Amino acid sequence: MRLVVVTGMSGGGKATAMKMLEDAGYYCVDNLPLPLVPTFGSLLTSPGNEIQKAAVGLDIRSDKTFGDVQKALEELARLNIEYEILFMDASDETLIKRYKETRRKHPIEVEGGSLADSIRKERQILAGLHKKADYIFDTSSLLTRDLKSELDRIFVNSEDYNSLMISIVSFGFKNGLPSDADLVFDVRFLPNPFYIDELKTKTGLDKEVYDYVCSFSEAEDFLKKLTDMISFLIPNYVKEGKNRLVIGIGCTGGKHRSVTLSRRLYDELKDKGDYGLTLTHRDIKR
């Protein structure tokens, strides 16, 4: 029997993860009264139980200090009921944006404080659980399909968890930097396909643009040096406990050079280590 405790920051994607686990065949219970959590675990491990995969959602709405959540988890451990903690997270900027878009009220109110203050307070309360988590998913730049792929890989196919999720994002400087980028690289030093009539309306996803950008020796030199540096950084980031790395590659408009070099970097890094890897072209349709 596999029991997954799904928790994390409000707005971090817990509800989405629970729905995906349910679609994957997990018996899911959200916001179960905390005193019943150990009872639920006992029922799952009792003889004759036919449920082999279950997930229970716990969040700050039901326990403002998370003290009762900790007691419930301690009781599960005392009963020798094995469980895994899936912690759904996102950057403060992303959480603020999501709350503004949905116009929902944050479950924690800081007297006289802002939404950012509420998020910081919640992050402090959840710090201990974040540290104990078996899996931490940062959904700041994680597409829905990539989240589903990662959940299926771990909780359906039982593959190893990649503690570091790397997101490569192409973008255009004229549209601003990616707010959550950890590393930003400027490829505007390469000739711009925009000024070639037959390439202007195409993008780095098209072979003609891709081949044009890659035809310059500077592009190959840049890619080699960048790959070497990222390959050096990855194990050191993992050693320091970093679970999310966003690499931004920018050109003027985010359609030609940055898309091409992002694709090349993705190809160089994929299947090369124990990390998750996603590729997003932020401005390609602008």
Give domain status of residue 286, yes or no: no
Give domain status of residue 81, yes or no: yes
pLDDT at residue 110, rounded to an integer = 83
Mean pLDDT across the chain, nearest whole number? 92
137 and 175 assigned to the same domain: no
- Which CA distances in Å does 185 have to 111, 250, 261, 263? 41, 6, 10, 14
109 CB-near residues (< 8 Å, 6+ apart): 118
Q: Coil, strand, or helix at residue 149? A: helix
Positions in the chain short of pLDDT 50: none
- Residue at a domain's end among 132, 155, 178: 155
Give domain status of residue 82, yes or no: yes
Interval 236-281: pLDDT, tens: 998 887 888 999 999 999 999 999 999 999 999 998 887 888 899 9
pLDDT at residue 146, rounded to an integer = 85
How many structural domains does the chain have? 2
268 and 242 assigned to the same domain: yes
pLDDT at residue 134, rounded to an integer = 92
Nearest by Cα to 1 from 84, 121, 92, 72: 84
177 and 267 assigned to the same domain: yes
pLDDT at residue 8, rounded to an integer = 94
113 and 6 assigned to the same domain: yes
The CATH number covering residue 109 comes to: 3.40.50.300
70 and 141 assigned to the same domain: yes
46 and 150 assigned to the same domain: yes
pTM of the shown model: 0.73
- Rounded Cα distance between 107 and 10, Å, is 8
15 and 143 assigned to the same domain: yes
216 and 86 assigned to the same domain: no
Q: Which domain holds residue 147?
A: 2-155
* β pairing state of 27-30 and 53-57: parallel
pLDDT at residue 20, rounded to an integer = 97
Give domain status of residue 139, yes or no: yes
7 and 145 assigned to the same domain: yes
